[in-house]
Amino acid sequence: MSLKRRVLVIGPKLAPLAEQAMPKADFEVAAPEMVDAVNLMRSPFDLVLIEAGAADPARLTAVIGALAQTASPPAVILVGANLPASLARALFKLKRSDVLDAPLSPADLARCVASLFADTAGAGGAARHSQCWSVMSAVGGAGGTTLAIEIAATLASRRLGDRVALFDLNLADGAASAYLGAAPNMHLADASAAPERIDQALLDVFSLRAPGGFDLFACPRDPYAFAKITPAAVCRLLEVACQVYDWLVIDMPRHRHSWTIDVLGGSDELLVISELTVPALLAARDLAAEIEAEIEDARRPRIVLNRMASRMFGPAPSRAEAERALGRKVAGVVTSDWEAAACSANLGGPISQHRPRSKIVKDIAGLVDDLATQTVAGRRQSKKVA
Ligand SMILES: Nc1ncnc2c1ncn2[C@@H]1O[C@H](COP(=O)(O)OP(=O)(O)OP(=O)(O)O)[C@@H](O)[C@H]1O
Ligand SMILES: [Mg+2]
């Protein structure tokens, strides 16, 4: 998973160069006098670019000192000629920093950024190759939560030794914890005041071990949660989780929030869940098209048909008819089994635990194996290209 890098540019002249060097990053531009320790704490950045000529060295030394004090200090690049020793000394306090001579090209800056972040990935193997799969229902009740739980349980049972986490990002009234019979403990609204403090220790507090062998991150019910939880907190949570877990499965809310595109854009797979009704198929087709239009370079969303039943039980579309309505092939189908789904939700736990012989379990296992194989193949392909 790779979320958008957040970059603070201090000094107006650097901004256009930075945007050319990192076209996909999120930028904030600030004058040095506007940067103080309090707003650095509130809004964590991955990278800070400082124009050495933008203010007097004492002011810039204070800014770099404040950055070094934050819970997870960003990488800092200082751009300028003939830098005073005081500034260079301040930079030494940071784990990741570099100095570039002005003038420089966007390519020089991009190379420098890449090497700073490559170094941290190497150090102690902190950067895991985590895989993030987001699951989104095309219409309410299509089965996103049920399928996200089964996918997490399947990954945990098939990939022994891998750490798997399920994130319920239906922040106000997510159902994953109820389906799993677990008490939600992710107090993300409190953490939103200081997102930079979200670290591995806090993740341990937020998570609970769910039946099925994975960790669950779910918020206690709160009708105002979407207003209270900031995009920075959601992004930071997932970023830290990527360092801890091998697999992140995200139960995404169907409606847009300010962080939706960031999360979907950083996902390795996007599964849109539809049921077999004409309105659901049309909604799935539109949702997939909306996502594709908004996220450059994202994996194409894959559509999964849930609650596939024999036609004996009603006039539902067939798989082929559904694919015609969708205008694309589906990634998989999951059989309808109300008894298994209801019984597992009532007992609290994945269907694979309470009804292991249900066709739902077999279908999800097939889907997970297909996706995982394609992911590994995709990785090999991208290595070759690199
Ligand atoms: N394959 C299936 N067979 C039978 N029942 C299913 C299946 N998948 C899901 N269900 C049932 O459908 C209902 C809705 O499922 P679920 O809560 O997972 O949907 P959702 O899309 O997450 O809903 P929401 O829009 O509320 O988030 C639940 O009662 C669940 O047990
Ligand atoms: Mg749901």
Cα dihedral across residues 199, 294, 373, 252: positive or negative: positive
Q: Which of 134, 135, 136, 145 to mutate to test the pocket of ligand 1 (most atoms within 8 A of CB)?
A: 145
Ligand 1 near 354 CB (within 6 A): no
Helices (H), 216-301: 225-228, 231-244, 260-265, 278-294
Mean pLDDT value of segment 326-349:
97
Distance (Å, rounded) from C-alpha 114 to C-alpha 118? 6
Q: How far is CA 317 from CA 89, 286, 311, in A?
A: 69, 18, 8
Ligand 1 near 141 CB (within 6 A): yes
Mean pLDDT value of segment 356-367:
96
The predicted-structure confidence for 76-130, as pLDDT tens digits, reads as follows: 898 988 777 778 777 877 778 888 888 888 888 888 888 777 645 443 334 456 8
* Beta pairing, strands 208-210 & 214-217: antiparallel
271 pLDDT tier (thresholds 50, 70, 90): very high
Distance (Å, rounded) from C-alpha 42 to C-alpha 105? 31
More confident residue, 218 or 127: 218
Q: Is the pLDDT of residue 149 over 70?
A: yes
Cα dihedral across residues 145, 148, 152, 155: positive or negative: positive
Ligand 1 near 307 CB (within 6 A): yes
Distance (Å, rounded) from C-alpha 221 to C-alpha 171? 8
Ligand 1 near 345 CB (within 6 A): yes
Distance (Å, rounded) from C-alpha 142 to C-alpha 125? 39
- The protein residue with its alpha carbon nearest to ligand 1, atom 25, reads 140
Instruction: Specify the range with the lowest mean pLDDT, choosing from 60-64, 87-91, 97-101, 326-330.
Output: 87-91
**Domains along the sequence of the chain with CATH:** 6-125 (3.40.50.2300), 131-385 (3.40.50.300)
Distance (Å, rounded) from C-alpha 285 to C-alpha 272? 9
H or E stretch covering 345: helix 338-347
Mean pLDDT value of segment 29-46:
71
Give the pLDDT score at 35: 72
Distance of alpha carbon 12 from its chain centroid, rounded?
A: 30
Give the pLDDT score at 107: 85
More confident residue, 312 or 114: 114
